[in-house]
Amino acid sequence: MDNRFATAFVIACVLSLISTIYMAASIGTDFWYEYRSPVQENSSDLNKSIWTDFASDEADEKTYNDALFRFNGTMGLWRRCITIPQNTYWYSPPERTESFDVVTKCMSFTLNEQFMEKFVDPGNHNSGIDLLRTYLWRCQFLLPFVSLGLMCFGAVIGFCACICRSLYPTIATGILHLLAGLCTLGSVSCYVAGIELLHQKLELPENVSGEFGWSFCLACVSAPLQFMASALFIWAAHTNRKEYTLMKAYRVA
């Protein structure tokens, strides 16, 4: 094997490993989107009601989003979290000289919730099904796992290529990484579109802001790494095969 191809293969493997780690981390963490809001220091009846509804298994889209808006919520592909005071009072503390303790409460999305229909008016089951948001949500949940699976399958093929001491099978690895990159890019795009459509229907309250978190950024970085690894795998395999064919023809001649 030519040193050029071996070097390209090693670099592609490193890029593939980094992108796999980034993708797995983004799937497993809860910071795809973050809300910033004034901290609620007391536990009024309204706040208690919101906390209870948020933790309920029957919380609908509007219910848990209202809690995310009010309590510095974060959302991932699997879980939603809010930050609430650890020591709550029925009244506002008369004086606060230092920051009070807060605790993060998280609830997981069940598989049923992941595939549940989204409604035109969030929380209103009589408003009709919003097919666009429904399928955007399902795609943003499924595509990262498809991407991760494709990269792992590509890694198996690459390992077999190393055992066989041949670069040609890595063309399949490159194609799988290309498909994985497209899936990651599709997931990120679906997530952005879904968030924008949600905020058109549920406007953020005053003094509340939202931004994409570091889990989302990891997925965004993972996509170009997958594309670069794909290009290197395909180039190394194709060029090595081409030079091998020319050398074989030269020997025959």
Assess if residue 194 is contained within a domain: yes
5-27 residue pLDDT tens: 778 888 999 999 999 999 999 99
Domain that holds residue 170: 3-88+100-243
Indicate whether 145 belongs to any domain.
yes
Q: CA torsion angle for 155, 157, 160, 164 (degrees, to 10)?
A: -130
Over 50: is that where the pLDDT of 29 sits?
yes
Within-domain flag for 64: yes
In a domain, 179, yes or no: yes
Q: What CATH number did the domain enclosing 150 receive?
A: 1.20.140.150
What are the backbone dihedrals phi and psi of residue 212, each rounded to the nearest 5 degrees, phi first?
-75, 140
Tell me if 249 is assigned to some domain.
Answer: no
Instruction: Note whether 209 and 166 are within 8 A (CB).
Output: no
Residue 93 belongs to some domain of the structure: no
For the stretch 149-176, pLDDT in tens is 999 998 888 888 777 776 667 888 999 9
Count of the separate structural domains present in the chain:
1
